[in-house]
A and B are shown apart, each in its own frame.
Chain A
Amino acid sequence: MTGLTVPTTGRPRLGRGVRMRFDKTRGKHVLVLPETVVVLNATGAAILELCDGQRTVTDIVAALREQFGEVPDEQVVGYLSKLAERRHLEILDD
Protein backbone atom coordinates (compact mmCIF):
# COMPACT_ATOMS: atom_id res chain seq x y z
CA MET A 1 0.00 0.00 0.00
CA THR A 2 1.65 3.23 -1.13
CA GLY A 3 0.51 6.65 -0.03
CA LEU A 4 -1.14 9.13 -2.34
CA THR A 5 1.11 11.83 -3.88
CA VAL A 6 -0.31 15.21 -4.80
CA PRO A 7 0.67 16.29 -8.37
CA THR A 8 2.50 19.62 -8.61
CA THR A 9 -0.20 20.87 -11.00
CA GLY A 10 -2.95 20.10 -8.45
CA ARG A 11 -4.75 22.96 -6.72
CA PRO A 12 -5.39 22.04 -3.07
CA ARG A 13 -8.15 23.48 -0.95
CA LEU A 14 -9.68 22.51 2.38
CA GLY A 15 -11.89 19.44 2.17
CA ARG A 16 -15.64 19.71 2.53
CA GLY A 17 -16.65 20.31 6.10
CA VAL A 18 -13.08 21.20 7.15
CA ARG A 19 -12.43 24.63 8.64
CA MET A 20 -9.27 26.46 9.58
CA ARG A 21 -9.25 29.18 12.21
CA PHE A 22 -6.99 30.88 14.70
CA ASP A 23 -7.65 29.67 18.22
CA LYS A 24 -7.07 32.40 20.78
CA THR A 25 -7.05 30.03 23.74
CA ARG A 26 -4.19 27.94 22.41
CA GLY A 27 -2.49 30.72 20.42
CA LYS A 28 -2.32 28.50 17.33
CA HIS A 29 -4.10 27.85 14.06
CA VAL A 30 -6.26 24.75 14.08
CA LEU A 31 -7.99 22.61 11.47
CA VAL A 32 -11.38 21.52 12.71
CA LEU A 33 -13.24 18.49 11.40
CA PRO A 34 -16.30 16.76 12.77
CA GLU A 35 -14.37 14.35 14.99
CA THR A 36 -10.87 15.77 14.96
CA VAL A 37 -8.95 18.92 15.79
CA VAL A 38 -5.50 19.30 14.23
CA VAL A 39 -3.37 21.88 16.00
CA LEU A 40 -1.08 23.42 13.36
CA ASN A 41 2.45 24.70 13.75
CA ALA A 42 3.41 27.98 12.06
CA THR A 43 4.69 26.28 8.90
CA GLY A 44 1.58 24.13 8.55
CA ALA A 45 -0.65 27.17 8.94
CA ALA A 46 1.38 29.13 6.35
CA ILE A 47 1.03 26.28 3.85
CA LEU A 48 -2.68 25.80 4.43
CA GLU A 49 -3.42 29.50 4.14
CA LEU A 50 -2.20 29.25 0.55
CA CYS A 51 -4.50 26.31 -0.24
CA ASP A 52 -7.32 28.27 -1.85
CA GLY A 53 -8.21 25.98 -4.75
CA GLN A 54 -6.62 28.49 -7.16
CA ARG A 55 -2.90 28.12 -6.53
CA THR A 56 -1.14 25.01 -7.79
CA VAL A 57 1.33 23.14 -5.60
CA THR A 58 4.10 24.82 -7.62
CA ASP A 59 2.59 28.25 -6.88
CA ILE A 60 2.40 27.39 -3.21
CA VAL A 61 6.05 26.40 -3.03
CA ALA A 62 7.00 29.64 -4.83
CA ALA A 63 4.92 31.74 -2.41
CA LEU A 64 6.49 29.96 0.57
CA ARG A 65 9.97 30.69 -0.82
CA GLU A 66 9.15 34.38 -0.93
CA GLN A 67 8.14 34.21 2.72
CA PHE A 68 10.71 31.82 4.14
CA GLY A 69 13.61 31.54 1.67
CA GLU A 70 14.68 27.95 1.03
CA VAL A 71 11.75 25.53 1.07
CA PRO A 72 12.24 21.91 -0.09
CA ASP A 73 9.54 20.85 -2.61
CA GLU A 74 9.32 17.29 -1.28
CA GLN A 75 8.46 18.50 2.19
CA VAL A 76 5.55 20.59 0.99
CA VAL A 77 4.31 17.84 -1.33
CA GLY A 78 4.67 15.31 1.48
CA TYR A 79 2.70 17.49 3.89
CA LEU A 80 -0.09 18.18 1.38
CA SER A 81 -0.25 14.52 0.39
CA LYS A 82 -0.62 13.42 3.98
CA LEU A 83 -3.50 15.86 4.51
CA ALA A 84 -5.12 14.87 1.21
CA GLU A 85 -4.93 11.20 2.15
CA ARG A 86 -6.87 11.99 5.33
CA ARG A 87 -9.26 14.10 3.25
CA HIS A 88 -8.47 17.26 5.17
CA LEU A 89 -7.59 18.67 1.76
CA GLU A 90 -9.07 18.05 -1.63
CA ILE A 91 -7.01 18.48 -4.78
CA LEU A 92 -8.49 20.07 -7.87
CA ASP A 93 -6.65 18.99 -10.98
CA ASP A 94 -7.73 19.57 -14.57
Chain B
Amino acid sequence: MTEPAVPEPPMGLLAELTYRCPLACAYCSNPIEIAAYRDELDTADWQRVVTEAAELGVLQLHLSGGEPLLRRDLADIVATASGLGLYTNLVTSALGLNEKRAAELHDAGLDHVQVSLQADEPTLSDRIAGTPSFERKIAAARTVRDLGWPLTLNVVLHRQNIDRVDRVLAAAEDLGADRIELANTQYYGWAWHNRTALLPSREQLAQAEVTVRAAKERLRGQMEIIYVVPDYYATYPKPCMGGWGARQLVVVPTGDAMPCLAAHELPLPRANVRDGSLRWIWEDSPMFSAFRGTDWMPDPCRSCERRDVDLGGCRCQAFALTGDATRTDPVCHLSPDHHLVESAVEAANADRAGETVSLPLVARPHA
Protein backbone atom coordinates (compact mmCIF):
# COMPACT_ATOMS: atom_id res chain seq x y z
CA MET B 1 0.00 0.00 0.00
CA THR B 2 1.40 3.40 -0.89
CA GLU B 3 0.40 6.57 0.85
CA PRO B 4 -2.42 8.52 -0.76
CA ALA B 5 -1.42 12.04 -1.78
CA VAL B 6 -4.07 13.67 0.39
CA PRO B 7 -5.02 11.63 3.43
CA GLU B 8 -8.66 10.78 4.16
CA PRO B 9 -10.24 13.38 6.45
CA PRO B 10 -10.35 12.63 10.19
CA MET B 11 -13.58 11.47 11.85
CA GLY B 12 -12.92 12.64 15.38
CA LEU B 13 -11.10 15.29 17.36
CA LEU B 14 -10.11 14.56 20.94
CA ALA B 15 -9.75 17.93 22.65
CA GLU B 16 -7.81 17.58 25.88
CA LEU B 17 -8.87 20.93 27.27
CA THR B 18 -6.80 20.84 30.45
CA TYR B 19 -4.71 18.38 32.42
CA ARG B 20 -5.89 19.85 35.71
CA CYS B 21 -8.07 17.35 37.56
CA PRO B 22 -9.70 17.04 40.99
CA LEU B 23 -8.90 13.31 40.87
CA ALA B 24 -5.50 11.67 41.04
CA CYS B 25 -5.98 8.27 39.38
CA ALA B 26 -2.95 6.03 39.38
CA TYR B 27 -3.89 4.73 35.91
CA CYS B 28 -4.14 8.20 34.38
CA SER B 29 -2.71 8.40 30.86
CA ASN B 30 -1.89 12.11 31.14
CA PRO B 31 1.81 12.95 30.77
CA ILE B 32 4.00 12.80 33.87
CA GLU B 33 5.20 16.38 33.35
CA ILE B 34 1.75 17.85 33.88
CA ALA B 35 3.20 21.17 35.06
CA ALA B 36 4.48 21.77 31.52
CA TYR B 37 0.91 22.08 30.25
CA ARG B 38 -0.33 25.10 32.21
CA ASP B 39 -0.23 27.50 29.28
CA GLU B 40 -3.65 26.42 28.00
CA LEU B 41 -5.31 27.51 24.78
CA ASP B 42 -7.96 30.16 25.41
CA THR B 43 -11.62 30.11 24.42
CA ALA B 44 -11.10 31.76 21.05
CA ASP B 45 -8.26 29.33 20.23
CA TRP B 46 -10.46 26.33 20.92
CA GLN B 47 -13.36 27.80 18.98
CA ARG B 48 -11.05 28.26 16.01
CA VAL B 49 -9.65 24.73 16.34
CA VAL B 50 -13.17 23.30 16.44
CA THR B 51 -14.19 25.34 13.40
CA GLU B 52 -11.13 24.21 11.44
CA ALA B 53 -11.83 20.64 12.49
CA ALA B 54 -15.38 20.79 11.15
CA GLU B 55 -14.08 22.21 7.86
CA LEU B 56 -11.56 19.40 7.65
CA GLY B 57 -14.34 16.79 7.92
CA VAL B 58 -14.34 15.97 11.64
CA LEU B 59 -17.75 14.70 12.81
CA GLN B 60 -17.20 14.00 16.50
CA LEU B 61 -15.69 16.21 19.16
CA HIS B 62 -14.60 14.50 22.37
CA LEU B 63 -14.04 16.94 25.20
CA SER B 64 -11.62 15.43 27.63
CA GLY B 65 -8.65 16.14 29.87
CA GLY B 66 -7.78 16.13 32.80
CA GLU B 67 -11.19 17.25 33.88
CA PRO B 68 -12.81 19.36 31.14
CA LEU B 69 -15.37 20.78 33.59
CA LEU B 70 -12.55 22.81 35.13
CA ARG B 71 -12.68 24.95 32.00
CA ARG B 72 -15.28 27.60 32.72
CA ASP B 73 -15.71 28.14 28.97
CA LEU B 74 -16.72 24.53 28.32
CA ALA B 75 -20.30 25.46 27.37
CA ASP B 76 -19.03 28.12 24.94
CA ILE B 77 -16.83 25.58 23.19
CA VAL B 78 -19.72 23.09 23.08
CA ALA B 79 -22.05 25.73 21.63
CA THR B 80 -19.60 26.55 18.84
CA ALA B 81 -19.10 22.88 17.97
CA SER B 82 -22.77 22.09 18.15
CA GLY B 83 -23.60 25.07 15.94
CA LEU B 84 -21.25 23.60 13.33
CA GLY B 85 -23.11 20.28 13.44
CA LEU B 86 -20.40 18.37 15.33
CA TYR B 87 -21.42 15.55 17.64
CA THR B 88 -20.19 16.60 21.08
CA ASN B 89 -19.17 14.08 23.71
CA LEU B 90 -18.01 15.01 27.21
CA VAL B 91 -15.57 12.62 28.91
CA THR B 92 -15.65 13.49 32.59
CA SER B 93 -14.92 12.31 36.11
CA ALA B 94 -18.25 14.08 36.80
CA LEU B 95 -16.82 16.04 39.69
CA GLY B 96 -18.26 19.48 39.19
CA LEU B 97 -21.18 18.26 37.10
CA ASN B 98 -23.85 19.78 39.32
CA GLU B 99 -27.38 20.41 38.09
CA LYS B 100 -26.71 23.99 37.05
CA ARG B 101 -23.61 23.14 35.06
CA ALA B 102 -25.31 20.14 33.46
CA ALA B 103 -28.29 22.26 32.38
CA GLU B 104 -25.95 24.86 30.89
CA LEU B 105 -24.18 22.19 28.82
CA HIS B 106 -27.46 20.66 27.79
CA ASP B 107 -28.66 24.06 26.53
CA ALA B 108 -25.39 24.51 24.65
CA GLY B 109 -26.22 21.34 22.69
CA LEU B 110 -23.98 18.72 24.31
CA ASP B 111 -24.97 15.34 22.81
CA HIS B 112 -23.47 12.76 25.11
CA VAL B 113 -21.76 12.29 28.47
CA GLN B 114 -19.31 9.60 29.56
CA VAL B 115 -18.79 9.36 33.30
CA SER B 116 -15.75 7.53 34.66
CA LEU B 117 -16.15 5.20 37.63
CA GLN B 118 -13.19 3.66 39.40
CA ALA B 119 -15.08 0.83 41.10
CA ASP B 120 -18.57 -0.15 42.27
CA GLU B 121 -18.25 1.05 45.85
CA PRO B 122 -16.84 4.12 47.62
CA THR B 123 -13.83 2.75 49.52
CA LEU B 124 -12.01 1.21 46.58
CA SER B 125 -13.22 3.82 44.10
CA ASP B 126 -11.96 6.67 46.26
CA ARG B 127 -8.66 4.91 46.87
CA ILE B 128 -8.04 4.44 43.13
CA ALA B 129 -9.17 7.98 42.38
CA GLY B 130 -6.99 9.32 45.17
CA THR B 131 -9.88 11.57 46.26
CA PRO B 132 -13.30 11.08 47.88
CA SER B 133 -15.48 11.19 44.80
CA PHE B 134 -17.69 8.12 44.47
CA GLU B 135 -20.90 9.54 45.89
CA ARG B 136 -20.64 12.68 43.78
CA LYS B 137 -20.11 10.59 40.65
CA ILE B 138 -23.25 8.60 41.33
CA ALA B 139 -25.24 11.79 41.86
CA ALA B 140 -23.86 13.24 38.62
CA ALA B 141 -24.70 10.07 36.69
CA ARG B 142 -28.30 10.46 37.89
CA THR B 143 -28.32 14.09 36.74
CA VAL B 144 -27.19 12.94 33.29
CA ARG B 145 -30.12 10.53 33.15
CA ASP B 146 -32.59 13.14 34.42
CA LEU B 147 -31.67 15.52 31.62
CA GLY B 148 -32.46 12.82 29.07
CA TRP B 149 -28.88 12.26 27.94
CA PRO B 150 -27.77 8.74 27.23
CA LEU B 151 -25.44 7.54 30.00
CA THR B 152 -22.15 5.84 29.24
CA LEU B 153 -19.93 4.72 32.10
CA ASN B 154 -16.20 4.30 31.56
CA VAL B 155 -14.36 1.97 33.86
CA VAL B 156 -10.65 1.35 33.54
CA LEU B 157 -9.87 -2.20 34.63
CA HIS B 158 -6.68 -3.30 36.35
CA ARG B 159 -5.33 -5.68 38.96
CA GLN B 160 -7.04 -3.87 41.82
CA ASN B 161 -10.61 -3.72 40.53
CA ILE B 162 -10.97 -6.38 37.84
CA ASP B 163 -12.16 -9.03 40.32
CA ARG B 164 -15.21 -6.86 40.98
CA VAL B 165 -16.36 -6.59 37.40
CA ASP B 166 -19.66 -8.35 38.19
CA ARG B 167 -20.44 -5.76 40.85
CA VAL B 168 -19.36 -2.92 38.57
CA LEU B 169 -21.84 -4.20 35.98
CA ALA B 170 -24.59 -4.44 38.59
CA ALA B 171 -23.91 -0.86 39.67
CA ALA B 172 -24.16 0.27 36.04
CA GLU B 173 -27.45 -1.55 35.68
CA ASP B 174 -28.78 0.15 38.83
CA LEU B 175 -27.85 3.52 37.42
CA GLY B 176 -29.72 2.71 34.20
CA ALA B 177 -26.62 3.15 32.05
CA ASP B 178 -27.12 2.72 28.31
CA ARG B 179 -23.57 1.67 27.79
CA ILE B 180 -20.51 0.70 29.75
CA GLU B 181 -16.97 0.61 28.51
CA LEU B 182 -14.72 -1.73 30.43
CA ALA B 183 -11.26 -0.91 29.17
CA ASN B 184 -8.19 -2.62 30.46
CA THR B 185 -5.48 -0.12 31.36
CA GLN B 186 -3.23 1.20 28.61
CA TYR B 187 0.24 1.71 29.96
CA TYR B 188 0.98 5.35 29.20
CA GLY B 189 1.79 8.27 31.48
CA TRP B 190 1.02 7.50 35.12
CA ALA B 191 -0.24 4.05 34.28
CA TRP B 192 3.22 3.19 32.89
CA HIS B 193 4.70 4.37 36.16
CA ASN B 194 2.30 2.11 38.11
CA ARG B 195 2.43 -0.84 35.76
CA THR B 196 3.44 -3.49 38.32
CA ALA B 197 0.60 -2.55 40.63
CA LEU B 198 -1.93 -2.44 37.77
CA LEU B 199 -1.22 -5.36 35.44
CA PRO B 200 -3.69 -8.17 36.23
CA SER B 201 -2.87 -11.89 36.23
CA ARG B 202 -3.99 -14.30 33.54
CA GLU B 203 -6.41 -15.91 35.97
CA GLN B 204 -8.01 -12.58 36.88
CA LEU B 205 -8.55 -11.80 33.20
CA ALA B 206 -10.00 -15.20 32.37
CA GLN B 207 -12.51 -14.83 35.19
CA ALA B 208 -13.47 -11.29 34.12
CA GLU B 209 -13.98 -12.41 30.54
CA VAL B 210 -16.40 -15.15 31.61
CA THR B 211 -18.36 -12.62 33.66
CA VAL B 212 -18.46 -10.08 30.85
CA ARG B 213 -19.57 -12.62 28.27
CA ALA B 214 -22.49 -13.75 30.46
CA ALA B 215 -23.51 -10.15 31.18
CA LYS B 216 -23.45 -9.25 27.48
CA GLU B 217 -25.85 -12.08 26.76
CA ARG B 218 -28.14 -11.23 29.66
CA LEU B 219 -28.29 -7.48 29.00
CA ARG B 220 -28.54 -7.60 25.22
CA GLY B 221 -30.71 -4.77 23.88
CA GLN B 222 -30.72 -3.11 27.33
CA MET B 223 -27.16 -2.11 28.13
CA GLU B 224 -24.32 -2.23 25.66
CA ILE B 225 -21.11 -3.63 27.11
CA ILE B 226 -17.82 -2.86 25.44
CA TYR B 227 -14.85 -4.80 26.71
CA VAL B 228 -11.40 -3.71 25.61
CA VAL B 229 -8.90 -6.56 25.98
CA PRO B 230 -5.53 -5.79 27.53
CA ASP B 231 -2.72 -5.36 25.02
CA TYR B 232 -0.22 -7.28 27.07
CA TYR B 233 -2.23 -10.48 26.88
CA ALA B 234 -3.14 -10.21 23.21
CA THR B 235 -1.39 -12.12 20.43
CA TYR B 236 -1.53 -9.19 18.04
CA PRO B 237 -1.59 -5.47 18.79
CA LYS B 238 -4.55 -3.19 18.09
CA PRO B 239 -4.43 -0.70 15.23
CA CYS B 240 -3.74 2.25 17.49
CA MET B 241 -6.36 5.03 17.05
CA GLY B 242 -7.49 3.22 13.88
CA GLY B 243 -4.10 3.97 12.35
CA TRP B 244 -1.64 6.80 12.76
CA GLY B 245 -3.17 9.94 11.28
CA ALA B 246 -5.99 7.87 9.81
CA ARG B 247 -9.18 8.62 11.78
CA GLN B 248 -8.51 10.75 14.84
CA LEU B 249 -6.50 13.67 16.01
CA VAL B 250 -5.73 14.83 19.49
CA VAL B 251 -5.09 18.42 20.56
CA VAL B 252 -3.55 18.79 24.02
CA PRO B 253 -4.09 21.74 26.42
CA THR B 254 -1.14 23.73 25.08
CA GLY B 255 -2.20 23.28 21.45
CA ASP B 256 0.13 20.50 20.31
CA ALA B 257 -1.68 18.25 17.86
CA MET B 258 -0.87 14.55 17.84
CA PRO B 259 -2.22 11.40 16.18
CA CYS B 260 -2.42 9.55 19.52
CA LEU B 261 -2.92 10.75 23.08
CA ALA B 262 0.28 9.07 24.19
CA ALA B 263 2.53 10.69 21.56
CA HIS B 264 3.89 13.44 23.84
CA GLU B 265 7.36 11.97 24.17
CA LEU B 266 7.94 10.82 20.62
CA PRO B 267 10.97 12.39 18.95
CA LEU B 268 8.98 14.11 16.21
CA PRO B 269 8.78 17.83 15.44
CA ARG B 270 5.88 19.44 17.35
CA ALA B 271 2.81 20.52 15.39
CA ASN B 272 0.96 23.25 17.31
CA VAL B 273 -2.40 24.79 16.43
CA ARG B 274 -0.99 28.15 17.49
CA ASP B 275 1.47 27.98 14.59
CA GLY B 276 -0.34 26.21 11.77
CA SER B 277 -3.81 25.38 10.52
CA LEU B 278 -5.37 22.08 11.45
CA ARG B 279 -5.51 21.22 7.74
CA TRP B 280 -1.76 21.69 7.39
CA ILE B 281 -1.19 19.68 10.54
CA TRP B 282 -3.37 16.80 9.34
CA GLU B 283 -2.29 16.72 5.72
CA ASP B 284 1.34 17.83 5.72
CA SER B 285 3.00 17.99 9.12
CA PRO B 286 5.82 15.51 9.83
CA MET B 287 4.07 14.64 13.10
CA PHE B 288 1.07 13.21 11.24
CA SER B 289 2.82 11.80 8.19
CA ALA B 290 5.65 10.03 10.06
CA PHE B 291 3.82 6.73 10.59
CA ARG B 292 0.85 7.07 8.28
CA GLY B 293 0.15 4.02 6.15
CA THR B 294 2.67 1.19 5.97
CA ASP B 295 5.72 2.65 4.19
CA TRP B 296 7.57 3.41 7.45
CA MET B 297 7.47 -0.20 8.63
CA PRO B 298 10.52 -2.30 9.40
CA ASP B 299 10.41 -6.08 9.43
CA PRO B 300 8.68 -8.19 10.67
CA CYS B 301 5.72 -5.89 9.91
CA ARG B 302 6.86 -4.93 6.41
CA SER B 303 6.53 -8.47 5.13
CA CYS B 304 3.61 -9.49 7.38
CA GLU B 305 0.17 -10.24 6.00
CA ARG B 306 -1.48 -8.37 8.90
CA ARG B 307 0.24 -5.08 8.20
CA ASP B 308 -2.92 -3.44 6.83
CA VAL B 309 -5.00 -4.89 9.70
CA ASP B 310 -3.14 -3.67 12.77
CA LEU B 311 -0.70 -1.26 11.09
CA GLY B 312 2.14 -2.52 13.26
CA GLY B 313 0.35 -1.61 16.50
CA CYS B 314 0.98 1.40 18.70
CA ARG B 315 3.97 3.67 18.00
CA CYS B 316 3.83 5.11 21.49
CA GLN B 317 3.91 1.66 23.08
CA ALA B 318 6.86 0.69 20.88
CA PHE B 319 8.62 3.86 22.01
CA ALA B 320 7.80 3.40 25.70
CA LEU B 321 9.07 -0.18 25.71
CA THR B 322 12.05 -0.01 23.33
CA GLY B 323 12.95 3.68 23.04
CA ASP B 324 12.42 3.45 19.27
CA ALA B 325 9.04 4.45 17.83
CA THR B 326 9.67 2.73 14.49
CA ARG B 327 9.85 -0.77 15.93
CA THR B 328 7.07 -3.34 15.78
CA ASP B 329 4.77 -3.02 18.80
CA PRO B 330 6.35 -5.38 21.36
CA VAL B 331 2.87 -6.63 22.24
CA CYS B 332 2.94 -8.60 18.97
CA HIS B 333 4.20 -12.17 19.48
CA LEU B 334 6.23 -11.76 16.26
CA SER B 335 8.08 -8.71 17.55
CA PRO B 336 11.79 -9.18 18.30
CA ASP B 337 11.14 -7.19 21.50
CA HIS B 338 8.23 -9.32 22.68
CA HIS B 339 10.24 -10.53 25.70
CA LEU B 340 9.78 -7.05 27.20
CA VAL B 341 6.04 -7.67 27.40
CA GLU B 342 6.48 -11.30 28.40
CA SER B 343 8.61 -10.43 31.40
CA ALA B 344 6.00 -7.94 32.65
CA VAL B 345 3.32 -10.59 32.19
CA GLU B 346 5.43 -13.18 34.01
CA ALA B 347 5.88 -10.85 36.93
CA ALA B 348 2.13 -10.28 37.06
CA ASN B 349 1.58 -14.04 37.21
CA ALA B 350 4.25 -14.91 39.72
CA ASP B 351 2.95 -16.04 43.09
CA ARG B 352 2.29 -12.77 44.81
CA ALA B 353 -0.32 -14.01 47.25
CA GLY B 354 -2.10 -11.20 49.00
CA GLU B 355 -0.74 -8.53 46.69
CA THR B 356 -3.63 -8.47 44.28
CA VAL B 357 -5.29 -5.45 45.75
CA SER B 358 -2.61 -4.11 48.04
CA LEU B 359 0.32 -2.91 45.94
CA PRO B 360 0.87 0.77 46.48
CA LEU B 361 -0.35 3.09 43.75
CA VAL B 362 1.40 6.34 43.00
CA ALA B 363 -1.30 8.97 42.62
CA ARG B 364 -0.79 11.54 39.89
CA PRO B 365 -0.75 15.14 41.03
CA HIS B 366 -3.75 17.37 40.37
CA ALA B 367 -2.00 19.73 37.99
A binding-site residues for B, Cβ under 8 Å? 1, 4, 15-17, 19, 21, 23, 25-26, 30, 32-35, 37, 84-87
Contacts and interface: CB of A to CB of B under 8 A. Distances in A.
B342 interface: no
A23 B178 contact: no
Nearest to A19: B87
Contacts of B89: 34
16 contacts: A4-B220, A17-B149, A17-B178, A23-B57, A23-B59, A25-B56, A34-B112, A34-B114, A34-B150, A34-B152, A34-B179, A35-B181, A85-B221, A87-B178, A87-B179, A87-B224
B111 A25 contact: no
A26 B54 CA distance: 12
Contacts of A30: 59
Contacts of A23: 57, 59
B60 interface: yes
Contacts of A35: 181, 226
A21 B179 CA distance: 23
Interface in B77-99: 85, 87, 89
Contacts of B112: 17, 34
A22 to B, nearest CB: 9
Given A17-B149, A17-B150, A32-B87, A37 B178 contact: no
A4 B178 CA distance: 18
A16 B221 contact: no
A35 B150 CA distance: 13
A4 B217 CA distance: 12
